[in-house]
Amino acid sequence: MAKNPETGASAQDSKMMVRRLFEKVWNENDLATAKEIIHTDYRSVENIDFASIRGLTILQEDMKFYREMYSDLKFEIDRMFTHEDTVVSMWRASGVANHEEFINRRGETQKKELKAEGASLTKIADGKIIENRLYWPRYPFSP
């Protein structure tokens, strides 16, 4: 499979890299994999709090931020496709909110579950992930 001169990776390689970002890095907290696939100029466009931080540091800050909000945070990719230097991923996120509760029908306090669908646009440059834009609801809880 031919490599894209702009990205330094084939479409299949690019999709596999993004799959590793979700499945190994996010789901399994595998920072060794993150070091392999994250560009030194990586930026997380979705994250407002750390907009000036780049590289592996911003990814680690994003992961810390979301893990403080949700325990057992997991992403499951439904489908992916590529366009030029970008991998488009449609996914589902699940987990349990650490700070959101409700009273169930039995009168018991219960944590809210995260059940969200989202999409991300992930840019590849020099054979690594250089940018990730996540689009998902800001308040995606269900009792």
Q: Where are the domains of the chain?
A: 11-137
Which class in CATH covers the domain with range 11-137?
alpha beta
Q: Which structure tokens are listed for 78?
A: 């439904």
Do strands 128-135 and 38-44 pair parallel, antiparallel, or not at all (unpaired)?
parallel
User: Can you give the pLDDT at residue 133?
Assistant: 92
Residue 56 to residue 36: CA distance in whole angstroms: 10
Task: Kindly provide the b/e burial profile for residues 99-122, where b requires at least 16 CB atoms within 10 angstroms of the residue's own CB.
Answer: eeeeeeeeeeeebbbbebebebeb
Measure the CA–CA gap between 31 and 60, rounded to whole angstroms.
8
Q: What is the mean pLDDT of the chain?
A: 88
- What is the pairing mode between strands 86-103 and 109-125? antiparallel
Condensed to tens digits (0 to 9), the pLDDT of residues 65-110 reads 889 989 999 999 999 999 999 999 999 999 999 988 888 888 888 8
- Residue 18 · residue 107 · CB < 8 Å: no
pLDDT for 4 beyond 80: no
Does the structure show a pLDDT above 90 at 6?
no
Kindly state the DSSP code that residue 23 receives in the 8-state scheme: I
Confidence at 53, pLDDT banded by 50, 70, 90:
confident
CA atoms within 13 A on the CB side of 83: 4
